[in-house]
Amino acid sequence: MVSEKSAKVLIGGKVYTLSGYEEEEYLQRVANYINSKLDEFNSIDGYKRISADLKATLLELNIADDYFKAKTQVESLESDLDIRDKEIYNLKHDLISAQLKTETLEETIAKLERENKELLLHKTKLEASLEDALLGSLSDN
């Protein structure tokens, strides 16, 4: 069973205790992300003059935007992965088909080579018989 963990983090110059089932390193990364967003907004001149509520709303909107962009990217990558998986499946199928065809062709080649060897042997015997018959008919003359 996973136990709940706590970590003290610094967000916007204030110390907070975050709790969750994630490791402290993860909780620190979350805090660092929030701090980087705060730094990004604080670097904008007009941001310092707006109300705290509007600052919070802008921060929330920006984080939500990052989330949806990341989610869209994940969906796109998953779609690409599905396409690649289907391509790999098709390539494996093609490979197996080619291997089976190769095995069949190798068996056919081996069979034809055996038949060719038998036919060459039979030809040699027929040529020898013909030679014997021709020599025999020449000696009778």
User: 92-113, pLDDT tens digit by residue?
Assistant: 999 999 999 999 999 999 999 9
Question: What is the pLDDT at residue 141?
Answer: 60
**Under 8 Å between Cβ of 12 and 38:** yes
Tokens 């494996």 identify what position?
92
Question: What is the pLDDT at residue 96?
Answer: 98
Q: Higher pLDDT residue, 139 or 91? A: 91
Mean pLDDT of the chain: 94
pLDDT in tens, 110-137: 999 999 999 999 999 999 999 988 887 7
Residue 19 has pLDDT above 70, yes or no: yes
